[in-house]
Structure 1
């Protein structure tokens, strides 16, 4: 395990070194603000590099570029390259990096790029570099730092230098921001696992709480890695945080992904659904855990609640039903929820979960290990729902649910964060696919996976915690450290205590409705 961790750390040394230097230049700027400063510059450097590659070809005027005009915007749009005006090119900005007004120069550069590429970038780029609290000398140092790496030429694109840097920086900002970081970032290994299981080869992919767009990026990568056609995939999303929405649009634009169907409004997906008529082939999402401020009091009779009215104190099952509402008749959904969603009976959640099982919508449940998320210690799981459980794999799995317990998998990236290895992602995804396909080699493995009937689930009162079904391995190799085991148990206890507090509050509300007041656990 130590060998694996060392290998992983070595492969990230370039990104780590870049991050450490950039972070030193942050000084008194809050991480939530600094991420837009850094990621905006990375965006600018990438499109400038890509522009310069084509610009040089047009200047040379050879082959297909004979007679081409190097400053003709149409030459760049024809090859899906952003046109970068002279005052926004990286060479010009780096030449101005030591000037005391470099921040204003960068803001003007961002405005110029938006103006020249209005259809794709209008109102998206950050213009925060001239603010007084941003030390201009540090900004110049950041420009020099980012200028030391090539992001947009053919070699860098082949090595996915941009992807490595961008994803690593997103993760580090999530770690630096703490809880707020979870509003825009889902760790890559979780997104990878969701995508590998759902296999979005073609169709409409929807994420109604899309954050920085990681689900879309991984979906496109999946298609590319499996020699599919990117034009067979279309993406739809919604985000309520405006700055995060802009980050998402930049993230997609960097990779040439059409973000025109990504929408923003401050009300959010529940109160102002931007894609009311969309029926998606795939829903992939990481909604906010146990969100109590979701506007449930304003949506008591909403038509999306086909399986039961979700409690006002937690949006978990509101999200589940929102996902189902947007699924096509043969669609599938994969999403992250807290472990409490598997067993909670608070405020009717158990009845909603039962209805989902009885209607045969639950396809698979995956229990995740602790410490996968940078922003929360709440234990989490993956839900997979399907409106057509035969799928396209010709095996009838109606009346069955696959349970996978992956809680003992993963390795520690650092002292606080865990991730899945490539082999572990493949093992979990292959287990699901072998279970689904006709003639597959699936078999129950004690302690890891179990195909349970709806009758089995009913015996457990419709609790969906995988451990109840997969059991304990006959031989357990106890290589989990005492510290890891205690950390997991402490987090699980914390989750149960939080659920207990929610239940207490709900009891108080219900008693108050009939004239009772609870004081110091006494009913008055």
Structure 2
């Protein structure tokens, strides 16, 4: 196991690690165990990064290995002696441990759970600017099996999170992301609320190409959009310092996960939390962003408050109180810089709904020429919902922005037939699927001399439609209406199939009505009246 897990080139090591760790959780629910496992992985990672830099400083003539500033300068977390992994590993199996409580400064007797909590407190204190109130500190609670904790520490001790050359810094990032995704799958809808599948995030990132500038997510969950943005920069020989990351999250537990998820990768980000959320308490009211990427909660109905009446963000119409989809879209457009672009995941209903004025808002957005591209996604991509979803790509200025003038045009891509099943219930896009979608978009928006090849409509897959064509379809944005494929409504059932079923049901109801009418007439004719 150890040699296999230590291999950075082994793409299956995350799965092996998760299976081994999951066997240890006993009776703990995934929602509880998630924080136990992820917190320990975080400790392991930052301790390894610290140890590697500690060793490097030891080889330098004038460096002080115990000076926190030396680590801050290298973008490495300072890990105090009581929080270092070797200290935890040495005490993992001991029933009683003497230690100094970092909060009180007094000597205590406890177990491995208390020692881990103390380590978390110590790391937060030493790195308060990034980690204040972020790390889990419930390892000492009596209900938690301390034998399981010790075995987890042993397991993670066998996994090298950093390669010898120091370049495979994302080994733990891979493990961390895999653990988050597996917990999302195990928890079902509740777990999926904070996790956007990697292939969906990659699709958005590859299409938007966030090379530089400010990147924003108003419902950032566990930070997957940001991780993929950084990865995109690295894969294309860019510099992380070329982008600045901003996010907001309403769920405090999820906010903690996001902060840890970014911290293990050394991603510097301004992630805000408040329990009111981006609509009622916008954390960045005056900032504009070059890119926005979001997977906000679908169709939420409890978002409206009276103080949102007439908000400056509702440029294209006030969103209905019963559905926040068009509130999210307008919030994001409001925050885009003059040449900013955005990719947003929403439920399919947003493309065609006429309820409560949604059709009027969509029409105003289309006529305002801020809709750049629509992508219909296949079903079963998400852990949290089976509702079919789509991608909205928005642009404040379609006249150029480094690309050709696309005013009066919208690209429609029907990707419902792409992807492959990775298990019984969930689908993923492959790398080639993502490349196919992104390349179509890039060719469509590129200038003729960009060297990407000429864009062509592909029947059943993609269509560049004019504003006049969209008007003829009543400002409905379902790609199937334009590319020549079967149209699909919110539940993913093709319209023709749905209509035939409804017609058959109506005929049955008519027949039943005729039968009941005849029966009633027959009964009435048998009634005798005595005068």
Q: Is the 8 A contact 2:412 2:462 kept in 1?
A: yes
| Of 204, 229, 251, the match for 2:261 | 251
| Of 462, 484, 497, the match for 1:449 | 462
* 1:353 aligned onto 2:362: yes
Secondary structure (helix, strand or coil) at the match of 2:77 reads coil
Secondary structure (helix, strand or coil) at the match of 1:311 reads coil
* 1:24 aligned onto 2:34: no
Count of residues in Structure 1 that have an aligned counterpart in Structure 2 = 468
Cα deviation, 1:256-281, whole Å, max 9, x if unaligned, reads 1112x210000000111111001111
Superposition pairs of residues 117-516 of structure 1, within 5 angstroms: 117-155=127-165, 157-158=167-168, 160-259=170-269, 261-439=270-448, 440-472=453-485, 491-493=491-493
Q: Distance in 1 between matches of 2:29 and 2:390?
A: 31
Q: Distance in 1 between matches of 2:277 and 2:393?
A: 23
Q: Distance in 2 between matches of 1:494 and 1:179?
A: 25
Q: Indicate how the Cα distance of structure 1 residues 161 and 20 shifts in structure 2: closer, same or farther if over 3 A, else same.
A: same
Cα deviation, 1:60-90, whole Å, max 9, x if unaligned, reads x2xxx11322212122112111111111111
Q: Is the 8 A contact 2:202 2:434 kept in 1?
A: yes
Once the 2 structures are TM-superposed, how far is the Cα of residue 115 of structure 1 from its aligned partner? 1.4
Q: Is the 8 A contact 1:297 1:312 kept in 2?
A: no
Secondary structure (helix, strand or coil) at the match of 1:390 reads coil
Q: Is the 8 A contact 2:295 2:344 kept in 1?
A: yes
| Of 74, 77, 86, the match for 2:81 | 86
Q: Indicate how the Cα distance of structure 1 residues 223 and 11 shifts in structure 2: closer, same or farther if over 3 A, else same.
A: same
Please name the residue that 1:514 is paired with.
none
CA radius of gyration, larger in: 2
Cα deviation, 1:355-388, whole Å, max 9, x if unaligned, reads 1101111000001011110111000000001011
CA RMSD of aligned residues (A): 2.0
Please name the residue that 1:51 is paired with.
50
Q: Indicate how the Cα distance of structure 1 residues 89 and 279 shifts in structure 2: closer, same or farther if over 3 A, else same.
A: same
Q: Distance in 2 between matches of 1:75 and 1:303?
A: 47
Cα deviation, 1:99-154, whole Å, max 9, x if unaligned, reads 23110000000111111122221211111111122111111111111111011344
Cα deviation, 1:373-428, whole Å, max 9, x if unaligned, reads 01110000000010111343341110000000010000111111111111111111
Q: Distance in 1 between matches of 2:180 and 2:165?
A: 23
Q: Is the 8 A contact 1:110 1:127 kept in 2?
A: yes
- Provide the TM-score with structure 2 as the length reference: 0.85
- Provide the TM-score with structure 1 as the length reference: 0.86
Secondary structure (helix, strand or coil) at the match of 1:200 reads coil
Q: Distance in 1 between matches of 2:34 and 2:391?
A: 28
Once the 2 structures are TM-superposed, how far is the Cα of residue 57 of structure 1 from its aligned partner? 2.1
Q: Distance in 1 between matches of 2:192 and 2:170?
A: 24
User: More displaced, 11-20 or 109-118?
Assistant: 11-20
Q: Indicate how the Cα distance of structure 1 residues 357 and 489 shifts in structure 2: closer, same or farther if over 3 A, else same.
A: closer
User: More displaced, 133-142 or 114-123?
Assistant: 114-123
Cα deviation, 1:476-499, whole Å, max 9, x if unaligned, reads xxxxxxxxxxxx99952599xxxx
Secondary structure (helix, strand or coil) at the match of 2:343 reads strand
Q: Distance in 1 between matches of 2:186 and 2:414?
A: 30
Cα deviation, 1:275-303, whole Å, max 9, x if unaligned, reads 10011111100000111121345422222
Q: Is the 8 A contact 1:220 1:230 kept in 2?
A: yes
Q: Is the 8 A contact 1:150 1:156 kept in 2?
A: no
Once the 2 structures are TM-superposed, how far is the Cα of residue 204 of structure 1 from its aligned partner? 0.6
Cα deviation, 1:183-207, whole Å, max 9, x if unaligned, reads 2110001111101111111111110
